[in-house]
Structure 1
Amino acid sequence: MKNVLAFGDSLTWGANAATGGRHSFEDRWPNVLAEQLKGQVRVFAEGLNGRTTVFDDYAIATERNGAKALPSLLGTHEPLDLVIIMLGTNDMRSHICGNAAGSAMGINRLINIVKTFSYKPDHQVPEILVVSPPLVEKGQDHLFNDVMAGAIELSAEYAMQYERVCIKEEVSFFNAAPVTRLDPVDGVHLDAKNTRALGKALAPSVKKILSL
Protein backbone atom coordinates (compact mmCIF):
# COMPACT_ATOMS: atom_id res chain seq x y z
CA MET A 1 0.00 0.00 0.00
CA LYS A 2 1.43 3.36 -1.08
CA ASN A 3 0.91 6.51 1.04
CA VAL A 4 0.01 9.79 -0.66
CA LEU A 5 -0.38 13.24 0.91
CA ALA A 6 -2.81 15.56 -0.91
CA PHE A 7 -1.80 19.04 0.26
CA GLY A 8 -4.03 21.88 -0.85
CA ASP A 9 -6.69 24.48 -0.18
CA SER A 10 -10.49 24.50 -0.36
CA LEU A 11 -10.41 22.65 -3.70
CA THR A 12 -8.80 19.74 -1.85
CA TRP A 13 -10.98 20.19 1.25
CA GLY A 14 -14.04 19.94 -1.00
CA ALA A 15 -15.74 23.30 -0.56
CA ASN A 16 -19.23 23.44 -2.05
CA ALA A 17 -19.96 26.94 -3.39
CA ALA A 18 -23.67 26.24 -3.76
CA THR A 19 -24.23 25.27 -0.11
CA GLY A 20 -21.34 26.94 1.67
CA GLY A 21 -20.53 23.51 3.11
CA ARG A 22 -18.50 20.55 1.93
CA HIS A 23 -18.92 17.98 -0.82
CA SER A 24 -19.63 14.43 0.27
CA PHE A 25 -16.61 12.26 1.11
CA GLU A 26 -16.90 10.18 -2.05
CA ASP A 27 -16.95 13.29 -4.31
CA ARG A 28 -13.75 14.97 -3.07
CA TRP A 29 -10.87 14.47 -5.50
CA PRO A 30 -8.39 12.84 -3.06
CA ASN A 31 -10.95 10.15 -2.24
CA VAL A 32 -11.87 9.69 -5.90
CA LEU A 33 -8.17 9.28 -6.65
CA ALA A 34 -7.87 6.57 -4.00
CA GLU A 35 -10.95 4.81 -5.35
CA GLN A 36 -9.60 4.92 -8.91
CA LEU A 37 -6.41 3.17 -7.81
CA LYS A 38 -8.39 0.29 -6.32
CA GLY A 39 -6.84 0.02 -2.89
CA GLN A 40 -3.25 0.43 -4.05
CA VAL A 41 -2.86 3.83 -2.37
CA ARG A 42 -3.90 5.45 0.88
CA VAL A 43 -4.55 9.18 0.32
CA PHE A 44 -4.28 11.57 3.25
CA ALA A 45 -6.38 14.62 2.33
CA GLU A 46 -4.98 17.79 3.90
CA GLY A 47 -6.96 20.63 2.36
CA LEU A 48 -7.66 23.90 4.16
CA ASN A 49 -9.87 26.75 2.99
CA GLY A 50 -7.82 29.83 2.12
CA ARG A 51 -4.43 28.12 2.25
CA THR A 52 -1.69 29.86 0.25
CA THR A 53 1.63 28.57 -1.01
CA VAL A 54 3.93 30.54 1.32
CA PHE A 55 2.08 33.77 2.11
CA ASP A 56 0.54 35.00 5.36
CA ASP A 57 -3.07 36.21 5.29
CA TYR A 58 -3.81 38.42 8.27
CA ALA A 59 -7.44 38.86 7.18
CA ILE A 60 -8.20 35.33 8.43
CA ALA A 61 -7.98 34.13 12.03
CA THR A 62 -6.35 30.74 11.35
CA GLU A 63 -2.94 29.95 9.87
CA ARG A 64 -3.11 29.68 6.08
CA ASN A 65 0.57 29.75 5.09
CA GLY A 66 1.33 26.44 3.38
CA ALA A 67 5.06 26.59 4.10
CA LYS A 68 4.34 26.74 7.82
CA ALA A 69 1.91 23.80 7.78
CA LEU A 70 3.71 21.41 5.43
CA PRO A 71 6.54 20.22 7.73
CA SER A 72 4.09 19.16 10.45
CA LEU A 73 1.99 17.25 7.93
CA LEU A 74 5.02 15.48 6.49
CA GLY A 75 5.89 14.33 9.98
CA THR A 76 2.30 13.39 10.76
CA HIS A 77 1.81 11.15 7.76
CA GLU A 78 5.26 9.70 7.07
CA PRO A 79 6.32 7.40 5.57
CA LEU A 80 5.04 8.91 2.34
CA ASP A 81 5.56 7.73 -1.22
CA LEU A 82 4.11 10.81 -2.93
CA VAL A 83 3.17 14.38 -2.02
CA ILE A 84 0.66 16.10 -4.30
CA ILE A 85 0.74 19.89 -3.98
CA MET A 86 -2.24 21.80 -5.36
CA LEU A 87 -2.10 25.43 -4.24
CA GLY A 88 -2.11 28.89 -5.80
CA THR A 89 -5.72 29.97 -6.22
CA ASN A 90 -5.67 31.98 -2.99
CA ASP A 91 -2.32 33.52 -3.96
CA MET A 92 -4.10 35.20 -6.87
CA ARG A 93 -5.71 37.74 -4.56
CA SER A 94 -3.87 41.05 -4.84
CA HIS A 95 -3.43 41.43 -1.07
CA ILE A 96 -1.78 37.98 -0.92
CA CYS A 97 0.49 37.82 -3.97
CA GLY A 98 -1.33 38.58 -7.22
CA ASN A 99 1.51 37.31 -9.37
CA ALA A 100 1.90 33.90 -11.03
CA ALA A 101 5.69 33.95 -10.82
CA GLY A 102 5.43 34.76 -7.12
CA SER A 103 3.19 31.73 -6.59
CA ALA A 104 5.64 29.61 -8.58
CA MET A 105 8.39 30.71 -6.21
CA GLY A 106 6.11 29.62 -3.38
CA ILE A 107 5.66 26.22 -5.02
CA ASN A 108 9.43 25.97 -5.37
CA ARG A 109 9.77 26.56 -1.63
CA LEU A 110 7.22 23.83 -0.86
CA ILE A 111 9.07 21.41 -3.14
CA ASN A 112 12.29 22.15 -1.26
CA ILE A 113 10.56 21.56 2.08
CA VAL A 114 9.48 18.09 0.92
CA LYS A 115 12.95 17.30 -0.41
CA THR A 116 14.88 18.46 2.68
CA PHE A 117 12.54 17.44 5.54
CA SER A 118 14.18 15.38 8.29
CA TYR A 119 12.50 12.03 7.66
CA LYS A 120 13.02 9.00 9.88
CA PRO A 121 16.20 7.06 8.97
CA ASP A 122 14.30 4.26 7.26
CA HIS A 123 11.93 6.55 5.34
CA GLN A 124 12.63 7.71 1.80
CA VAL A 125 12.05 11.21 0.39
CA PRO A 126 8.65 11.00 -1.34
CA GLU A 127 8.01 11.76 -4.98
CA ILE A 128 6.35 15.10 -5.73
CA LEU A 129 3.49 15.98 -8.07
CA VAL A 130 2.60 19.67 -8.48
CA VAL A 131 -0.88 20.46 -9.76
CA SER A 132 -1.50 23.92 -11.19
CA PRO A 133 -4.99 25.22 -10.32
CA PRO A 134 -8.07 25.51 -12.55
CA LEU A 135 -8.84 28.71 -14.43
CA VAL A 136 -10.76 31.24 -12.35
CA GLU A 137 -14.07 32.47 -13.80
CA LYS A 138 -16.39 35.35 -13.02
CA GLY A 139 -19.07 34.00 -10.71
CA GLN A 140 -22.39 35.11 -9.28
CA ASP A 141 -20.88 36.03 -5.91
CA HIS A 142 -19.99 39.74 -6.07
CA LEU A 143 -17.74 39.59 -3.00
CA PHE A 144 -15.69 36.77 -4.50
CA ASN A 145 -15.44 38.68 -7.76
CA ASP A 146 -14.07 41.70 -5.93
CA VAL A 147 -11.67 39.70 -3.78
CA MET A 148 -10.41 37.80 -6.84
CA ALA A 149 -10.22 40.88 -9.09
CA GLY A 150 -7.74 40.24 -11.91
CA ALA A 151 -7.54 36.51 -11.21
CA ILE A 152 -9.36 35.47 -14.40
CA GLU A 153 -6.48 36.64 -16.57
CA LEU A 154 -3.84 35.80 -13.97
CA SER A 155 -4.90 32.18 -13.57
CA ALA A 156 -4.05 31.47 -17.22
CA GLU A 157 -0.36 32.09 -16.41
CA TYR A 158 -0.06 29.56 -13.61
CA ALA A 159 0.45 26.35 -15.59
CA MET A 160 3.43 27.77 -17.50
CA GLN A 161 5.06 29.17 -14.36
CA TYR A 162 4.53 26.00 -12.34
CA GLU A 163 5.74 23.70 -15.09
CA ARG A 164 8.91 25.76 -15.39
CA VAL A 165 9.62 25.22 -11.68
CA CYS A 166 8.82 21.50 -11.92
CA ILE A 167 11.25 21.04 -14.80
CA LYS A 168 13.97 22.81 -12.86
CA GLU A 169 13.32 20.81 -9.70
CA GLU A 170 12.80 17.53 -11.62
CA VAL A 171 9.39 16.77 -10.14
CA SER A 172 6.14 15.80 -11.84
CA PHE A 173 3.58 18.33 -13.09
CA PHE A 174 -0.13 18.20 -13.87
CA ASN A 175 -2.31 21.01 -15.23
CA ALA A 176 -5.81 20.88 -13.71
CA ALA A 177 -7.25 23.53 -16.05
CA PRO A 178 -8.02 21.29 -19.07
CA VAL A 179 -9.90 18.72 -16.97
CA THR A 180 -11.92 21.01 -14.69
CA ARG A 181 -14.22 24.00 -14.84
CA LEU A 182 -14.97 26.04 -11.75
CA ASP A 183 -18.48 26.38 -10.33
CA PRO A 184 -20.22 29.46 -11.82
CA VAL A 185 -21.75 30.14 -8.40
CA ASP A 186 -18.49 31.81 -7.36
CA GLY A 187 -16.00 31.03 -10.16
CA VAL A 188 -13.45 29.79 -7.61
CA HIS A 189 -14.54 26.37 -6.32
CA LEU A 190 -15.29 23.02 -7.93
CA ASP A 191 -18.74 21.47 -8.02
CA ALA A 192 -19.12 17.76 -7.26
CA LYS A 193 -18.81 16.72 -10.90
CA ASN A 194 -15.57 18.61 -11.43
CA THR A 195 -13.85 17.58 -8.22
CA ARG A 196 -14.63 13.97 -9.16
CA ALA A 197 -13.24 14.65 -12.64
CA LEU A 198 -9.98 15.91 -11.16
CA GLY A 199 -9.53 12.80 -9.05
CA LYS A 200 -10.12 10.57 -12.07
CA ALA A 201 -7.77 12.61 -14.27
CA LEU A 202 -4.95 12.45 -11.73
CA ALA A 203 -5.09 8.68 -11.39
CA PRO A 204 -2.98 7.77 -14.48
CA SER A 205 -0.21 10.21 -13.47
CA VAL A 206 -0.12 8.94 -9.90
CA LYS A 207 -0.12 5.35 -11.10
CA LYS A 208 2.86 6.07 -13.34
CA ILE A 209 4.80 7.97 -10.65
CA LEU A 210 4.31 5.16 -8.12
CA SER A 211 4.88 2.37 -10.70
CA LEU A 212 1.56 0.73 -9.85
Structure 2
Amino acid sequence: MPVVLCFGDSNTWGSATVERPDGRYGPDERWPGVLQAELGHEWRVVEEGLPGRTTICDDPVEGVEMNARPYLLPCLLSHRPVDVFVVMLGSNNLKARFGMSGWEIAESVGTLLKIVRGSRTGPGGSAPRMIVVSPPPLLREMSPRLGPMMEGGYEKSLLFSEAYAHVAANHGAEFLDGGKVTTSSRFDGLHLDPEAHAALGRAVAERIAPKSR
Protein backbone atom coordinates (compact mmCIF):
# COMPACT_ATOMS: atom_id res chain seq x y z
CA MET A 1 0.00 0.00 0.00
CA PRO A 2 1.59 3.32 -1.05
CA VAL A 3 2.19 5.77 1.79
CA VAL A 4 1.79 9.55 1.55
CA LEU A 5 3.40 11.55 4.34
CA CYS A 6 1.87 15.03 4.81
CA PHE A 7 4.39 17.16 6.70
CA GLY A 8 3.38 20.60 7.85
CA ASP A 9 2.26 23.00 10.56
CA SER A 10 -1.10 24.09 11.98
CA ASN A 11 -2.66 24.13 8.52
CA THR A 12 -1.87 20.43 8.25
CA TRP A 13 -2.81 19.74 11.87
CA GLY A 14 -6.13 21.44 11.20
CA SER A 15 -6.35 24.56 13.38
CA ALA A 16 -9.96 25.62 13.00
CA THR A 17 -11.29 28.99 11.93
CA VAL A 18 -14.80 28.01 13.02
CA GLU A 19 -15.95 26.48 16.29
CA ARG A 20 -14.68 22.92 16.73
CA PRO A 21 -13.84 20.84 19.82
CA ASP A 22 -10.27 21.57 20.89
CA GLY A 23 -9.98 24.15 18.11
CA ARG A 24 -9.20 21.48 15.51
CA TYR A 25 -11.07 20.30 12.43
CA GLY A 26 -12.19 16.68 12.37
CA PRO A 27 -10.15 14.03 10.56
CA ASP A 28 -12.40 14.11 7.50
CA GLU A 29 -12.27 17.91 7.30
CA ARG A 30 -8.50 18.32 7.38
CA TRP A 31 -6.81 18.35 4.00
CA PRO A 32 -4.89 15.09 4.62
CA GLY A 33 -8.23 13.45 5.43
CA VAL A 34 -9.73 14.83 2.24
CA LEU A 35 -6.67 13.53 0.40
CA GLN A 36 -7.24 10.08 1.91
CA ALA A 37 -10.85 10.06 0.79
CA GLU A 38 -9.87 11.14 -2.72
CA LEU A 39 -7.12 8.55 -3.10
CA GLY A 40 -9.16 5.73 -1.58
CA HIS A 41 -8.29 2.74 0.55
CA GLU A 42 -5.50 1.64 -1.75
CA TRP A 43 -3.38 4.42 -0.24
CA ARG A 44 -2.39 5.29 3.33
CA VAL A 45 -2.13 8.97 4.22
CA VAL A 46 -0.08 9.88 7.30
CA GLU A 47 -0.68 13.25 9.01
CA GLU A 48 2.38 14.95 10.46
CA GLY A 49 1.18 18.44 11.30
CA LEU A 50 2.43 20.46 14.27
CA PRO A 51 1.12 23.96 15.09
CA GLY A 52 4.00 26.41 15.25
CA ARG A 53 6.40 24.21 13.28
CA THR A 54 9.15 26.06 11.42
CA THR A 55 11.37 24.78 8.65
CA ILE A 56 14.79 25.03 10.31
CA CYS A 57 14.43 27.49 13.20
CA ASP A 58 14.55 26.86 16.93
CA ASP A 59 11.74 29.01 18.26
CA PRO A 60 12.90 31.05 21.29
CA VAL A 61 9.30 31.56 22.36
CA GLU A 62 7.47 28.34 21.51
CA GLY A 63 10.36 25.91 21.90
CA VAL A 64 13.10 24.13 19.98
CA GLU A 65 10.72 21.28 19.21
CA MET A 66 9.10 23.52 16.59
CA ASN A 67 12.18 23.08 14.38
CA ALA A 68 11.34 20.54 11.67
CA ARG A 69 14.92 19.78 10.70
CA PRO A 70 15.98 17.43 13.57
CA TYR A 71 12.60 15.68 13.56
CA LEU A 72 12.30 15.06 9.82
CA LEU A 73 14.62 12.08 9.37
CA PRO A 74 13.27 10.16 12.38
CA CYS A 75 9.78 10.88 11.07
CA LEU A 76 10.63 9.48 7.65
CA LEU A 77 12.31 6.44 9.17
CA SER A 78 9.32 5.69 11.39
CA HIS A 79 6.86 5.70 8.47
CA ARG A 80 9.06 4.06 5.81
CA PRO A 81 8.68 3.13 3.10
CA VAL A 82 7.30 6.55 2.17
CA ASP A 83 6.17 6.72 -1.44
CA VAL A 84 5.21 10.41 -1.51
CA PHE A 85 6.40 13.19 0.76
CA VAL A 86 4.20 16.31 0.71
CA VAL A 87 5.51 19.35 2.57
CA MET A 88 3.72 22.64 3.27
CA LEU A 89 5.78 24.71 5.68
CA GLY A 90 7.05 28.25 6.00
CA SER A 91 4.17 30.29 7.38
CA ASN A 92 5.61 30.24 10.90
CA ASN A 93 8.97 31.40 9.58
CA LEU A 94 7.20 34.67 8.70
CA LYS A 95 7.11 35.57 12.40
CA ALA A 96 9.03 38.81 12.91
CA ARG A 97 11.34 37.24 15.49
CA PHE A 98 13.01 35.07 12.82
CA GLY A 99 13.86 37.95 10.47
CA MET A 100 13.81 35.76 7.35
CA SER A 101 13.00 36.92 3.84
CA GLY A 102 10.51 35.08 1.66
CA TRP A 103 13.33 33.67 -0.45
CA GLU A 104 15.28 32.54 2.61
CA ILE A 105 12.20 30.71 3.86
CA ALA A 106 11.88 28.94 0.53
CA GLU A 107 15.57 27.99 0.61
CA SER A 108 15.06 26.55 4.09
CA VAL A 109 12.42 24.25 2.62
CA GLY A 110 15.17 23.17 0.25
CA THR A 111 17.24 22.17 3.29
CA LEU A 112 14.44 19.78 4.25
CA LEU A 113 14.23 18.42 0.72
CA LYS A 114 17.94 17.52 0.89
CA ILE A 115 17.21 15.42 3.96
CA VAL A 116 14.32 13.67 2.24
CA ARG A 117 16.27 13.04 -0.94
CA GLY A 118 19.19 11.53 0.98
CA SER A 119 17.07 9.56 3.44
CA ARG A 120 16.62 6.42 1.32
CA THR A 121 13.25 5.97 3.00
CA GLY A 122 11.29 5.37 -0.19
CA PRO A 123 10.40 1.96 -1.65
CA GLY A 124 13.46 -0.26 -2.02
CA GLY A 125 15.71 2.30 -0.39
CA SER A 126 14.99 4.96 -3.00
CA ALA A 127 14.15 8.58 -2.27
CA PRO A 128 10.46 9.36 -1.78
CA ARG A 129 8.69 11.33 -4.44
CA MET A 130 8.57 14.93 -3.17
CA ILE A 131 5.80 17.50 -3.60
CA VAL A 132 6.29 21.04 -2.30
CA VAL A 133 3.15 23.06 -1.57
CA SER A 134 3.67 26.78 -1.11
CA PRO A 135 1.50 28.13 1.72
CA PRO A 136 -1.12 30.65 0.61
CA PRO A 137 -0.14 34.25 1.32
CA LEU A 138 -1.19 35.82 4.57
CA LEU A 139 -3.97 38.37 4.46
CA ARG A 140 -2.96 41.99 4.89
CA GLU A 141 -5.47 42.30 7.73
CA MET A 142 -4.73 39.76 10.44
CA SER A 143 -6.22 39.10 13.85
CA PRO A 144 -5.05 41.26 16.78
CA ARG A 145 -3.11 38.28 18.16
CA LEU A 146 -1.32 37.30 14.97
CA GLY A 147 -0.85 40.72 13.38
CA PRO A 148 2.00 41.96 15.58
CA MET A 149 3.63 38.53 15.58
CA MET A 150 3.62 38.42 11.78
CA GLU A 151 4.61 42.05 11.17
CA GLY A 152 6.00 42.31 7.64
CA GLY A 153 4.92 38.78 6.84
CA TYR A 154 2.25 39.66 4.30
CA GLU A 155 4.72 41.13 1.82
CA LYS A 156 7.14 38.23 2.29
CA SER A 157 4.40 35.65 1.81
CA LEU A 158 3.59 37.11 -1.61
CA LEU A 159 6.98 35.79 -2.77
CA PHE A 160 6.26 32.20 -1.75
CA SER A 161 4.81 31.02 -5.05
CA GLU A 162 7.80 32.03 -7.18
CA ALA A 163 10.43 31.18 -4.59
CA TYR A 164 9.04 27.77 -3.67
CA ALA A 165 8.67 26.79 -7.34
CA HIS A 166 12.32 27.68 -7.90
CA VAL A 167 13.52 25.69 -4.88
CA ALA A 168 11.37 22.68 -5.75
CA ALA A 169 12.82 22.57 -9.26
CA ASN A 170 16.36 22.80 -7.90
CA HIS A 171 15.82 19.82 -5.63
CA GLY A 172 13.96 17.51 -7.99
CA ALA A 173 10.60 18.04 -6.35
CA GLU A 174 7.19 18.74 -7.83
CA PHE A 175 5.45 22.01 -7.01
CA LEU A 176 1.88 22.94 -6.14
CA ASP A 177 0.98 26.59 -5.66
CA GLY A 178 -1.17 26.64 -2.53
CA GLY A 179 -2.13 30.24 -3.19
CA LYS A 180 -3.89 29.24 -6.40
CA VAL A 181 -5.89 26.56 -4.62
CA THR A 182 -6.70 28.20 -1.29
CA THR A 183 -6.75 31.53 0.50
CA SER A 184 -6.05 32.30 4.14
CA SER A 185 -9.14 32.81 6.26
CA ARG A 186 -10.56 36.20 7.16
CA PHE A 187 -10.89 34.75 10.65
CA ASP A 188 -7.23 35.42 11.43
CA GLY A 189 -5.42 35.92 8.13
CA LEU A 190 -3.36 32.73 8.42
CA HIS A 191 -5.34 29.56 8.86
CA LEU A 192 -7.59 27.76 6.39
CA ASP A 193 -11.37 27.55 6.34
CA PRO A 194 -13.00 24.14 5.81
CA GLU A 195 -13.58 24.86 2.14
CA ALA A 196 -9.88 25.60 1.70
CA HIS A 197 -8.91 22.31 3.34
CA ALA A 198 -11.24 20.48 0.96
CA ALA A 199 -9.83 22.26 -2.08
CA LEU A 200 -6.25 21.62 -1.03
CA GLY A 201 -6.87 17.93 -0.36
CA ARG A 202 -8.42 17.50 -3.78
CA ALA A 203 -5.59 19.37 -5.48
CA VAL A 204 -2.90 17.26 -3.82
CA ALA A 205 -4.79 14.09 -4.76
CA GLU A 206 -4.93 15.24 -8.36
CA ARG A 207 -1.19 15.82 -8.33
CA ILE A 208 -0.41 12.44 -6.76
CA ALA A 209 -2.69 10.17 -8.73
CA PRO A 210 -4.76 11.96 -11.39
CA LYS A 211 -5.99 8.72 -12.93
CA SER A 212 -7.65 7.72 -9.67
CA ARG A 213 -9.91 10.76 -9.58
Same fold? TM cut 0.5: yes
Give the structure 2 partner of residue 13 of structure 1: 13
Give the structure 2 partner of residue 29 of structure 1: 31
Q: Is the 2:95–2:153 contact (alpha carbons within 8 Å) kept by the matching residues of 1?
A: yes
Correspondence for 1:128 among 106, 130, 151:
130
Q: Is the 2:6–2:47 contact (alpha carbons within 8 Å) kept by the matching residues of 1?
A: yes
Q: Distance in 2 between matches of 1:86 and 1:160?
A: 15
C-alpha deviations, 1:139-192, integer Å up to 9, x for none? 462120111111122111011111111111121000000111111111000111
Give the stretch that moved more between structures: 134-143 or 172-181. Answer: 134-143
Shift of 1:119: 4.0
Unaligned runs of 5+ in 1: none
Correspondence for 2:104 among 91, 102, 105:
102
Q: Distance in 1 between matches of 2:208 and 2:104?
A: 27
C-alpha deviations, 1:105-150, integer Å up to 9, x for none? 2111100000112549943221100000011014462120111111
Give the stretch that moved more between structures: 138-147 or 66-75. Answer: 138-147
Shift of 1:90: 0.5
Give the structure 2 partner of residue 70 of structure 1: 72
TM-score, normalization: structure 1?
A: 0.92
Paired letter, 1:95: R
Give the structure 1 partner of residue 149 of structure 2: 147
Paired letter, 1:132: S
Q: Is the 2:142–2:190 contact (alpha carbons within 8 Å) kept by the matching residues of 1?
A: no
Unaligned runs of 5+ in 2: none
C-alpha deviations, 1:20-75, integer Å up to 9, x for none? 61001100001101111122321100000010111110101461011111111001
Matched, 1:187 2:189: yes
% identity of equivalent residues: 33
Count of residues in Structure 1 that have an aligned counterpart in Structure 2: 210
Aligned-pair RMSD on alpha carbons? 1.8
Matched, 1:197 2:199: yes
Paired letter, 1:44: V
Q: How does 1:163-174 map to 2 (within 5 A)?
A: 163-174=165-176
Question: Relative to structure 1, is the Cα distance of residues 25 and 119 closer, same or farther in structure 2, using a 3 angstrom cutoff?
Answer: closer
Give the structure 2 partner of residue 86 of structure 1: 88
TM-score, normalization: structure 2?
A: 0.92
Question: Relative to structure 1, is the Cα distance of residues 145 and 42 closer, same or farther in structure 2, using a 3 angstrom cutoff?
Answer: same
Name the SS of the counterpart of 1:178 in structure 2. helix
